């Protein structure tokens, strides 16, 4: 059944590099505008340099080692990963100085963490429980390595992290006592802070979280624990984090890509975000049998549901609305007086929420203007343990 020559000839007719080739592929695809991506990466690097903060961007958003390498080349000191899968793929691709931002607790995962540390001694993991520190220390000693740990601090979302200064100090003391782990500082991340839409309110909750983190840092310091690394912050709060937060390094993830959710968040009163949207889902009109709507081939398997409504980029459809219409389909509800797009028309959407949308795709279709210039694997989307 397989015919290698045939497949290769198919591949070679793909019009990469030609004018209009952005619109010459099967849909749905994930389109990445490299001009905008590069600009976003540069702007954040410059911003953090100006603030005198380190940047350790989060790869959970883009899941792509090529983008992580671009971030390192722009001056990032390392990369954050949400999972061991991401970290393992990043490490194999040559990405350095990885921080895993969620605890790992099973024997299987701790063994993988040890292996990552053996291959790159600067790997870091967050912890929030004494039994977890003990388990990691035991495994590390048995393997003859030392694992760098950050104590995770909870910022009111109730997900992971210790509740306050006393718990943080208790864990730091335990870590100091045990061979096999090295206390390097703290992590504090509040996902809910990033997505607070109102500027004044976001400023207020971010400042409040900063004071709380500082109280923990002071308590640790007063008890003889310096915290060389204070990792946290994100795209939504990066200007506060950089200018006045307690952080030594910022974990922003969404800024290279951006999405419709960030579009509804106020950057500063009357000001645009310094990052533009570089990420789009391209879809095709596959049915126009119902007046006032068309159906496109992008549904919940192509666009994450959790976030703002996907936004159509076609100017004439600006006031028309995308609605989910099942796993494989979306419905464009046309604004009054708007003509139905033709069958096969290509539309592009700003995604609801970049992170879980990216996780649905195997590839970025990379463009400059209307030209497809490359196709990048979303390599850290895969699982390395099968």
Residues 338-377 that bind its own copies (CB under 8 A): 343-344, 346, 353, 355-356, 359-363, 365, 375
Handedness of CA 144, 108, 68, 64 (dihedral sign): positive
- x-or-dash pattern for its own copies, window 310-339, by CB under 8 A? --------------xxxxxx-x--------
Question: Residue from 26, 228, 269, 315 that binds its own copies (CB under 8 A)?
Answer: 26
CA distance 112 to 84: 7
Q: Check: CB of residue 34 under 8 Å from CB of residue 368.
A: yes
| Strand order across the 124-127 sheet | 54-55, 249-250, 229-232, 181-188, 147-153, 124-127, 98-100, 79-81
Question: Residue from 214, 222, 223, 287 that binds its own copies (CB under 8 A)?
Answer: 287
Question: Residue from 52, 289, 336, 337 that binds its own copies (CB under 8 A)?
Answer: 289
Question: What φ, ψ does residue 161 adopt, rounded to 5°?
Answer: 110, 155
Question: Residue from 4, 107, 315, 336 that binds its own copies (CB under 8 A)?
Answer: 107
* CA nearest neighbour of 341 among 319, 314, 371: 314
Helix, strand, or coil (residue 300): coil
Give 158 or 270: the residue with its C-beta nearer to its own copies.
Answer: 158
Taking the complex as a whole, the smallest distance from the CB of residue 131 to its own copies amounts, in Å, to 6
Listing DSSP states for 168-207 in one string gives: HHHHHHHHHHSTTEEEEEEEE--HHHHT--SHHHHHHHHH
Alpha helices in 290-349 (DSSP H): none
CA distance 82 to 63: 10
- x-or-dash pattern for its own copies, window 51-90, by CB under 8 A? ---------x---------------------xxxx-----
The count of chain residues that interact with its own copies, using the rule CB under 8 A, is 82
Q: Please report, as residue ranges, which positions from 121 to 180 form the binding site for its own copies (by CB under 8 A).
A: 128-129, 131-132, 135, 154, 157-163, 167
Q: Please report, as residue ranges, which positions from 173 to 212 form the binding site for its own copies (by CB under 8 A).
A: 191
CA distance 338 to 2: 46
Taking the complex as a whole, the smallest distance from the CB of residue 236 to its own copies amounts, in Å, to 14
CA distance 305 to 281: 13
Of the candidate spans 109-117, 198-206, 212-220, 243-251, the one that interacts with its own copies by CB under 8 A turns out to be 109-117
CA distance 129 to 309: 38
Give 25 or 275: the residue with its C-beta nearer to its own copies.
Answer: 25
Of the candidate spans 71-79, 175-183, 235-243, 299-307, the one that interacts with its own copies by CB under 8 A turns out to be 299-307
Question: Residue from 284, 308, 320, 347 that binds its own copies (CB under 8 A)?
Answer: 284
Give 74 or 372: the residue with its C-beta nearer to its own copies.
Answer: 372
CA distance 383 to 47: 34
Q: Tell me which DSSP letter residue 245 carries.
A: -
Taking the complex as a whole, the smallest distance from the CB of residue 270 to its own copies amounts, in Å, to 31
Taking the complex as a whole, the smallest distance from the CB of residue 175 to its own copies amounts, in Å, to 16
5 scored as a contact of its own copies (CB under 8 A): no
Give 223 or 306: the residue with its C-beta nearer to its own copies.
Answer: 306
Q: Please report, as residue ranges, which positions from 219 to 248 form the binding site for its own copies (by CB under 8 A).
A: none
Classify residue 175 by burial, with Cβ atoms within 10 Å: 0-12, 13-18, 19+: buried
């Amino acid at each position: 059944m397989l015919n290698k020559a045939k497949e290769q000839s198919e591949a070679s007719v793909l019009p990469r590099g030609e004018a209009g080739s952005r619109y010459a592929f099967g849909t749905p695809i994930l389109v990445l505008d490299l001009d905008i991506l590069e600009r976003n990466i540069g702007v954040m690097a410059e911003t953090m340099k100006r603030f005198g903060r380190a940047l350790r961007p989060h790869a959970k958003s883009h899941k792509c080692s090529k983008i992580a390498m671009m971030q390192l080349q722009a001056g990032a000191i390392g990369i954050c990963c949400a999972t061991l899968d991401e970290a393992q793929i990043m490490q194999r691709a040559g990405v350095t100085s990885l921080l895993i931002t969620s605890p790992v607790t099973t024997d299987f995962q701790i063994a993988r963490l040890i292996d990552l540390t053996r291959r790159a001694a600067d790997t870091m993991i967050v912890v929030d429980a004494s039994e977890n520190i003990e388990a990691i220390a035991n495994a590390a000693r048995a393997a003859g390595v030392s694992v760098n740990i950050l104590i995770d601090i909870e910022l009111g979302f109730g997900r992971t992290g210790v509740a306050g200064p006393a718990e943080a100090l208790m864990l730091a003391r335990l870590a100091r006592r045990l061979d096999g782990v090295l206390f390097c500082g703290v992590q504090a991340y509040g996902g809910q802070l990033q997505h607070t839409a109102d500027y004044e309110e976001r400023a207020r909750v971010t400042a409040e979280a900063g004071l709380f983190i500082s109280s923990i840092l002071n308590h640790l310091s007063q008890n003889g624990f310096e915290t060389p690394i204070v990792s946290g912050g994100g795209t939504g709060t990066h200007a506060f984090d950089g200018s006045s937060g307690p952080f030594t390094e910022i974990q922003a993830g969404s800024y290279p890509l951006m999405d419709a959710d960030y579009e509804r968040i106020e950057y500063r009163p009357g000001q645009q975000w310094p990052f533009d949207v570089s990420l789009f889902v391209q879809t095709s009109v596959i049915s126009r049998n119902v007046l006032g709507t068309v159906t496109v081939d992008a549904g919940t398997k192509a666009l994450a549901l959790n976030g703002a409504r996907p936004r159509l980029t076609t100017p004439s459809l600006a006031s028309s609305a995308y609605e989910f219409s099942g796993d494989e389909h979306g419905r464009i509800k046309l604004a009054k007086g708007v003509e139905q797009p033709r069958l096969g028309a290509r539309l592009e959407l700003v995604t609801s929420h970049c992170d879980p949308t990216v996780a649905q795709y195997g590839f970025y279709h990379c463009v400059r203007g209307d030209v497809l210039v490359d196709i990048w694997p979303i390599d850290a989307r895969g699982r390395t343990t099968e």
